[in-house]
Structure 1
Amino acid sequence: MEPTPKSLTNWLASGSETSSLHRRLLVISGSESFCRGQLTHLLKQQHPKEVQILGQALLPEAPAIALSAFRQRLGTECKLAVYDAYEALRPNAVLALAGTVTRGGTMVLCCPDFDSWPAYQEQNAGHYLSYGETLRFSEIRASLIPQFYSAAGVAIIREGHEAILPTPLKAVKQDASPWPFKSAEQQSLFEALTLPSATPSALLTADRGRGKSTLLGMLAGYYLATQRKSVLVTSRYADSVTQVFKGLKLLCPQAEQSDKYFYEFGSLHCQWVPLDHPALKQCQDQLLIIDEAAGIPIPLLTALCAQASQVLMTTTMRGYEGSGRGFITRFLPWLTDNRPDICHYRLTTPVRWYPEDPLETFWYKAFCLTQQDDVIEEAQTTSCVNQHEINITLADKSQPGNPLNQQLLPLLMQAHYQTSADELIRLYDSPQNETLLAWAGEKLIGVVNFQSEGTKALAPLSAAIACGTRRVNGHLSAQGLALLTAAPDLATLTYWRINRIAVLPAYRRQHIASKLIQSLLARANDANVDALTTSFGVTGDLQRFWLQAGFIPAKPGLKQDASSGEYSLLMLRPLTAKCQSYQPLISQRYRQELQLHPTPALFTEPQTSLDDSALAECCTLMLRQIIDGKRSVQHARGPIQWYQQQLSQSSLVPANDLSLLGDFISHINDISTFAKRYRLTGKKAAELEIKACLERLIGVN
């Protein structure tokens, strides 16, 4: 049955008696009260400063933090890390927390009883469930349970069952490296970067726990102490640079800390600054350190590298960091072309734990990340395949741990910059998410992942969605098209939105992606789907690909993606007569919005016949919705311009109002300038001024 307090205390203490033991995973499964009781006992055995708690369902009070704040744990270390799966299971957060546990430490995962966990309704499932979806059974959670039992060294305390408390696994100790280095690899790289002839700038990439941030700190200390150069450190999160400052003190112990993020060494300093700090634009005479660079928007990252004469960067690219692939596919090519002096190095030897660490191995296997490096390397080769030998199947969502399915997530991660380990939950647990797989024998060479959206499930909300007063989770296509056209019916059509399409680099340009789309199209026609859609960061090549696949541009995004800096584009392939009847209006509204876009040249112009009466009816409806307070001005940019053009032909319109609308359209992408010109307090006041103007004008007409 459940362990006695003494046996649990002895088991936990056995991991701290010697530093030559591997890290451990303890799974506590049972009722909330049972799990809370076990946790309370465990926490009493550990110093509070050596504990991290992620998830607030069981222990809502501090120091526990919500799963959504998991990035706050990056750069920290602990002996006992607790993950509360009662809140939710998020692979990104699990991996981030696991990376904080040091040698001989323990990670604890608390979850409902194994019999009920797969069907458990999580407290926070908004990251993968769309409006109207209910998860009845989690294949991912179900797949973890047998892995807990089969993996070496995993301890299990389950309510009502005999406790499994295996002896901690011994590690093979590595030869000690000369102080202050934790590995021969770390030492070798430091020496290479401090040679008189060394390249002054570098990029260090590694999985977590390899000592890359500490190495950056040692290099910062070296430059302070021997090169008489100040150092600026920046990152997305301030607390993530804790290890950088620890490394600084190793090489420059005389540096004095004047506040949390500022160290002084004589007239020199090492300082952390936020990404928008003005000092980053004037760092020509300082060393710039960028920690966890993959978490920084690429436009900002390229600007930082362009401004700094000497820059050292680190980043993790596997697991929790959702923009890691964007860093590889978007930033590294820019670096090669624009900063060839920044040499790329990779650290592989763990220093926070021992090689062959069972905790890291367990989670990488559980979340299908073990093959990622192999997939990345495959980009260097080319393989030809006979089209007749390609087999396309629908992914079996009931077997996420199947060796064949283990290829799916790594393929998506190397092909799309926004794919992270969290995608695994959507792939297998989102009820309306499906994936087509292209096989060459038993090798997965291509995938298309798609999500069912819209349908009559949105009917009660369709009117509110179409004017913008209601926005629900998911249903990107249905909501976007209904809002674009003020047509509630478009919210209730059935869409299959293509989330991801990917082909292994070695098999590209062999029409495999087209074959996948044709297969999806046939399935959609059989299922009476109204339209296929897709949304992506717009580039010329991608637009051409989707145009050739029969899609039309429908809605340009107005905001740049935080990671890639690209604008999104929603494209559509109508399949049924009902959806096709809206195609002219969709194209005309697309044309309207494109005329006012900050960068219209990025997008393809639509080719469609005109229907002025339908457009006029749509624009008039949107303007009246603004007056009625049901639509924001920003969701009717095109109609306002259309109305201003209509009024310009009339001599009865007050000149001041006509001028006001014209100025607003001229500054549509710079509302602050418009607000200043008319002495308004900001964006909201500017929208109220336009609303009042429309009320006057439409009332006159």
Structure 2
Amino acid sequence: MPREASAQTADWQHLLDRLADLGERRLVLVEGDREAALVWLRKLLPALSTGPGLWVGQPDACPANGLATVGPGKARSWLGRELGLVVWDGWQGNPPDGLAAIAGTLTAGGLLFWLMPPLSQWSTWPDPDYVRTGLDAARCHAFADRMATILGADSSVIRVNAATPEQARLPALPAAERPFRVGTNADQQQLVDRLVTFGLGRRRRPVVVTADRGRGKSAALGMAAARLLQQGRQRVLVSAPTRESVATVFRHARETLGDELAAEDDAQLVCNNGGELRFLPVQALLAERPDAEVILVDEAAAIPPHTLKQILTGWPRVAFCSTVHGYEGAGRGFNIRFRAVLERETPRWQELTLRESIRWATGDPLEPLIDRLFLLSANGFTGDLTDPEIAIERWQPAGATEAERNEAFGLLVDAHYRTTPADLRQWLDDPAAVSWVARCQGHIVGVLWAAREGGLPEDLGAKIALGERRVRGHLLPQSLASHAGFPEAACQRTLRVIRIAVRNDLRQRGLGRRLVLAARNYAVSEELDTLGSSFGGTRELLAFWRACELTFVRLGFQQEVTSGEYPVQVLSGVSVSGVELVSRLRSRLARYWTAYLPGHWRDLSPGLVMALTRALPATGRLDEDDHRDLFHFACGHRGFDLCLPVLQVLSQSPGVIERLERSEDAPLWAESVLQERSWPELQASGRCLGQRDGEDRLRSMVRELLQNGPEL
């Protein structure tokens, strides 16, 4: 190796050694020609002493042997791992969620090499990842420009010109007074002790552990699991979205057990005393439902809330571990939504947290840099508000101050189950985006983000309805065209509300409705056809949108991965053709509603089933024979099965569902009549004592309707 190259390598190795001693990490931005950057890295990296490394890019371009490889779109799959070196080929695309995730895998002394064009070109450079999200139509990319500004101003970023890498100025780091070592600190040890107490303690007192990335929560789970086995627990199960997510848990459990470990494989540790620690993916855990004294759920924020509830109620002792701020995007939403489930199901639950970082030192500059780039810790304004005046105004996130963006994005993070860095990029860069904020005393206390969709050519709309074509974006119009079967929905122009959020203490004051009204007025002024939204269905959200005069037009067959709820779509006509489309969508859905319910939505909550049924047009019409059947059922002994079709028509008759909802047996009606659950199912769930009891209660409900209900 030439002396000059050797000296350069020595300088980089010295930097790595100093970073390791200080417990810090660095971003290395390699700007300029991609091929020149790769040539330099192929010379440099093999000579450096680093920990496990990863190349994010095309496998055949990997600059060093020994690096694992992954594509940019799969980078988030490395969640929960630990790396000493990452090389990210930004020329192949830069999905924000993956970038933020990969940064969190770096341990103390690690370097993140990022190959990119010069910072001055970022605002107009066509990132390959834009095509995936429809951002390739934007002439200027505010998100990338904002990142370039932040990186250019951060003195911790090591900038390397790919054409002259030997001229890179490496930071002159001071020698550490005492070398940094990854180890258990007092904060983590206290958590381990409390987890052991929980695991040996009383039933139905679950624990929720929250922390930022790098605080050692997964390590704490592993150490606690091992100690529980040492103290007599026979089976401790660990669950997570993927096996790779729990590698840290198992490593620390293995180290803690030491000589007490009798056998092991990738998914199981067995102690000399017969106790076992076993990994099961979430779905396998729920399918097999094995006996276990303790369940530990890692990366819980990535698991839908309805699934977490099943785990919570399925075993005696469950601990959930989650990142609160971070690239998972679900952390704070998890904390808010799952808290309600915990309060209802297990009110004696405990909340624990970790604050001190373990994998890197407190002064590490990479964590705050990634935090700023992706607004991972964005917070809405929480100060006191003395001025009651709140103004609604149009707002452009791309042109706002960083403080305003922090307030607005923080509201979205708190209000929605999953809001990620990719959402921030979409909000800033999407040419079709339109936004409004509610402002009070100079602060943003409410926000609505919408996008213009639809307006597609008629021939394309027809192909979408036939299932022959699918185009990027246009979620609501395409869904109504392809799934509801109305090709004209793709051709009409729609304003879709993507997200809406209001500061928690200002909710229930009509502020959300005012934001939606502003969006509607815009749709009118722009001569659009409809205003709509799509959301994970709950009774509360359905009631909100009905209050905003948007009506229910479609319910998806598949549950959302993020919320675990079925997607509900609502729409309001703005133009004459839009009003007609909404009417036709609703009439058709109402016509086939009771046919769809048993086959596709048997696991919907009965309260939501009743609310959705009420939200549809009352299309039921009873003839004389139907009235006779109802009388024979209510006042005689005519069987339920024989009367079921008539009871379903009754459910959709004018004014009936509103009366049925007031009954304490409304859930029984929803599950037996509308969802067609069997009597053994209803008995097993505690809805009734058996068929005779269930039928008697339904007969009573029909008698009340016949005597005191609406005109039938």
Q: Give the shorter-chain TM-score range.
A: 0.7 to 0.9
Equivalent-residue separation in structure 1 for 2:514 and 2:262 (angstroms): 63
Equivalent residue number for residue 542 of structure 1: 541
Contact 2:222–2:248 (CA<8 Å) still a contact in 1?
yes
- 3-state SS, counterpart of residue 283 of structure 2: coil
Q: Identify the match of residue 36 of structure 1 among 31, 35, 38.
A: 38
Q: 1:446 to 1:24 in 2, by over 3 A?
A: same
Q: Is the 8 A contact 2:95 2:129 kept in 1?
A: no
Alignment-mate amino acid for residue 570 of structure 2: M
Post-superposition shift, 1:365? 1.0
Output the CA distance in 2 between the equivalents of 1:208 and 1:144.
21
**87, 96, 108: which one aligns with 2:92:** 87
Q: Check if 1:45 corresponds to 2:50.
A: no
Structure 1 residue 68 displacement after superposition: 2.2
Cα distance change on mapping 1:594 and 1:223 into 2, 3 Å = same
Determine whether 1:357 maps to 2:364: yes
Residue matched to 2:432: 432
Report 1:310-321 matches (<5 A). Answer: 310-321=317-328
Distance 1:72 1:264 in 2: 27
Secondary structure at 1:110 match in 2: strand
Whole-Å separation in 2 of the counterparts to 1:336 and 1:170: 50
How far apart in 2 are the matches of 1:15 and 1:419? 36
CA 451–52 in structure 1, closer or farther in 2 if over 3 Å, else same: same
- The Cα shift of 1:164 comes to 4.3
- For each residue in 1:554-585, what CA deviation from the matched residue of structure 2 results, as whole angstroms up to 9, or x when unmatched? 11112222232211111111111121222321
Residue of structure 2 in register with 1:167 after alignment: 171
Q: Could you tell me which residue of structure 2 aligns to residue 603 of structure 1?
A: 612
Q: Greater shift after overlay, 519-528 or 195-204?
A: 195-204
- Structure 2 residue runs without a partner (length 5+): 622-647, 650-673, 679-712
Q: Which residue of 2 aligns with 1:247?
A: 252
For 2:692, the equivalent position in structure 1 comes to none
Q: Counterpart in 1 of 2:497?
A: 498
Match of 1:386 among 388, 400, 418: 388
Deviations 1:394-449 (A, max 9, x none): 224245x6322222221111011121121111011122122212211321101100
Q: Is the 8 A contact 1:153 1:166 kept in 2?
A: no
- CA offsets per residue over residues 101-120 of structure 1, 9 Å max, x none? 11121111111233433322
Letter in 2 for 1:453: E
CA contact 1:234–1:275 (8 Å) conserved in 2: yes
Deviation at 1:212, TM superposition (A): 0.3
Q: Deviations over 1:571-628 (max 9, x none)?
A: 111111121222321111221343212244351435659899xxxxxxxxxxxxxxxx
Contact 2:21–2:178 (Cα < 8 Å) also in 1: no
The worse-fitting range, judged by mean Cα deviation, of 22-31 and 257-266 is 257-266
What corresponds to 2:414 in structure 1? Answer: 414
Q: Which residue number corresponds to residue 57 of structure 2? A: 55
What is the aligned partner in structure 2 of residue 110 from structure 1?
115
Per the alignment, residue 304 of structure 1 pairs with: 311
My pick for the range that moved more, 250-259 or 22-31, is 250-259
Q: Which has the higher helix share?
A: 2
Say whether the 8 Å CA contact 2:305–2:338 is kept in structure 1.
yes
Equivalent pair of 2:31/2:116 in contact (CA under 8 Å) = yes
Counterpart amino acid of residue 322 in structure 2: T
Contact 1:591/1:606 (<8 A) preserved = no
| Separation in 1, partners of 2:291, 2:619 | 55
Find the counterpart in structure 2 of residue 150 from structure 1: 153
Q: SS of 2:451's equivalent?
A: strand
**Residue 220 of structure 1: aligned partner:** 225
Q: Which of 264, 267, 291 is equivalent to 2:298?
A: 291
Equivalent residues of 1:364, 1:370 under 8 A apart: yes
Native 8 Å contact 2:96 2:421 kept in 1: yes
What is the SS of the residue equivalent to 2:255? helix
How far the C-alpha of 1:393 sits from its partner, in A, is: 2.8
Distance 1:173 1:412 in 2: 43
Cα–Cα, structure 1 residues 611 and 119, in superposed 2: closer, same or farther, change >3 Å?
farther
Deviations 1:150-189 (A, max 9, x none): 1122100124578443415559879999xx9521111222
Answering whether residue 263 of structure 2 is matched by residue 263 of structure 1, we say no
Residues 181 and 117 of structure 1: CA distance in aligned 2, closer, same or farther (over 3 Å): closer
Distance in 2, matches of 1:11 and 1:237, equals 39
Indicate the larger mover: 48-57 or 266-275: 48-57
**Structure 2 CA distance for partners of 1:14 and 1:230, relative to 1, 3 Å:** same
| Residue of structure 1 equivalent to 2:211 | 206
- Give the residue type in structure 2 aligned to 1:306: T
Cα 1:667–1:512, aligned 2, differ >3 Å: closer, same or farther?
A: closer
Q: CA deviation at 1:58?
A: 8.2
Whether 1:129 aligns to 2:134 is yes
For the residue of structure 1 that corresponds to 2:70, the secondary structure is: coil
Matched, 1:336 2:337: no
Is structure 2 residue 401 aligned with structure 1 residue 397?
A: no
- Contact kept in structure 1, 2:302 and 2:330, CA below 8 Å: yes
2:280 counterpart of 1:273: yes
The residue type paired with residue 109 of structure 2 is: G
- Distance, in Å, in 1 between the alignment partners of 2:175 and 2:422 is 30
> 8 Å contact 2:215–2:355 — kept in the other structure?
yes
Task: Describe the shift of the 1:97–1:7 C-alpha distance in structure 2 as closer, same or farther (beyond 3 A).
Answer: farther
Amino acid at match of 2:530: A
Q: Counterpart in 1 of 2:645?
A: none
| Aligned equivalents of 2:437, 2:146: Cα separation in 1 | 21
Aligned to 1:696: none
Question: 1:84–1:109: 8 Å Cα contact kept in structure 2?
Answer: yes
Deviates more, 1:164-173 or 1:332-341: 164-173
Q: Which residue of 2 aligns with 1:694?
A: none
Cα 1:68–1:429 change in 2 (3 A) is: same
**What is the TM-score with the length of structure 2 in the denominator?**
0.78
The one-letter code matched in structure 2 to 1:333 is: A
- 1:138 alignment partner, one of 138, 141, 144: 141
Q: Is the 8 A contact 1:119 1:136 kept in 2?
A: yes
Residues 671-697 of structure 1 show CA distances to partners (whole Å, capped at 9, x for unaligned) of: xxxxxxxxxxxxxxxxxxxxxxxxxxx
CA distance in 2 between partners of 1:404 and 1:479 (Å): 33
- The 1:504/1:58 distance shift into structure 2, 3 A limit, reads farther
* Distance (whole Å) between structure 1 residues aligned to residue 615 and residue 266 of structure 2: 55
TM-score by length of 1: 0.79
Paired letter, 2:169: L
Cα distance between partner residues in 1 of 2:344 and 2:160: 54
Q: Answer with 542-551 or 486-495: which moved more.
A: 486-495
Q: 1:385·1:507 contact (CA, 8 Å) conserved in 2?
A: no
What are the Cα deviations for residues 507-532 of structure 1, in whole angstroms up to 9, with x where unaligned?
Answer: 22232212212222222211111111
Asked if structure 2 preserves the Cα contact closer than 8 Å seen for 1:27 and 1:108, the reply is yes
Which runs of 5 or more structure 1 residues have no equivalent in the other structure? Answer: 613-640, 643-665, 671-701
**1:77 aligns to 2:82 (yes or no):** yes
| 1:391 and 1:439 in contact (8 A); partners too | yes
| Aligned residues of 2:122 and 2:148 also touching (Cα < 8 A) | no
CA distance in 2, matches of 1:358, 1:247: 27
Aligned-pair distance for 1:282?
A: 4.6
Cα distance between partner residues in 1 of 2:384 and 2:253: 45
Helix, strand or coil for the counterpart of 1:118? Answer: coil
Letter in 1 for 2:359: R
What do you get for the CA RMSD once the two structures are aligned? 3.2
Shift of 1:280: 7.4
User: CA separation of 1:319/1:91 partners in 2, compared to 1, >3 Å: closer, same or farther?
Assistant: farther
Write out aligned runs for 1:451-600 (5 A). 451-456=451-456, 458-483=457-482, 486-595=485-594, 596-597=596-597, 598=601, 599=604, 600=609
Q: Which amino acid aligns with 2:269?
A: Y
Report sequence identity in percent. Answer: 24
Looking at structure 2, the residues matched to 432 and 192 of structure 1 have their Cα atoms a distance apart, in angstroms, of: 50
The Cα shift of 1:201 comes to 4.4
User: Deviations for 1:350-396, whole angstroms, at most 9, x for unmatched residues?
Assistant: 00001132101001112123433x66xx4xx8746523x42523224
What is the rounded CA distance, in whole Å, between the counterparts of 1:512 and 1:322 in structure 2? 25
